[in-house]
Chains A and B, each alone.
Chain A
Amino acid sequence: EIVMTQSPATLSVSPGERATLSCRASQSVYSNLAWYQQNPGQAPRLLIYDASTRATGIPARFSGSGSGTEFTLTIASLQSEDFAVYYCQQYYDWYTFGQGTRLEIK
């Protein structure tokens, strides 16, 4: 099973600043990687697929990069609604998720 490791577990950033979240795969997943945002009590929402393609309706301040085993989600100029938990997921070989990064207000 491909293990996904996200860092940091918690990230404290001020509104208006940039947030950078990392995700590492235990083996190459090529570009078969997605990022999701989850707010308390809600379902995850797809932000990015194929490592760098924004899903429909996702603001341009969200961007994804990377391939192989190292991936990054960048949120430029954080808005209040962006403080949530973020998960990466690989879909190259079955589906496995990272443990999540909690983005909190500094």
Chain B
Amino acid sequence: SQTIHQWPATLVQPVGSPLSLECTVEGTSNPNLYWYRQAAGRGLQLLFYSVGIGQISSEVPQNLSASRPQDRQFILSSKKLLLSDSGFYLCAWSVVPDRDTEAFFGQGTRLTVV
């Protein structure tokens, strides 16, 4: 069966510090991978998605970046965090083609920038 791992679960970082969140998927090949952010009381905002190794699409311009160094690994990074980067970050995957299937989410990372 397929599983998705995302870590860490919680993170408190000072403003201006770097960020690296990692997500890995097991039990499937060539998945579509996604990074979302969810602010309190808000819907999910798509940040990045990837359809293959090294292929990253950015949905929202900001100081975050994403990379996919391996087929089932997706990394969210920042060189310098802002206060506004605080939120709940979710990694998700879906099968290819994903037109009639749902997305499966990791446990999420609660990031607080102080």
A and B held together in a complex: no
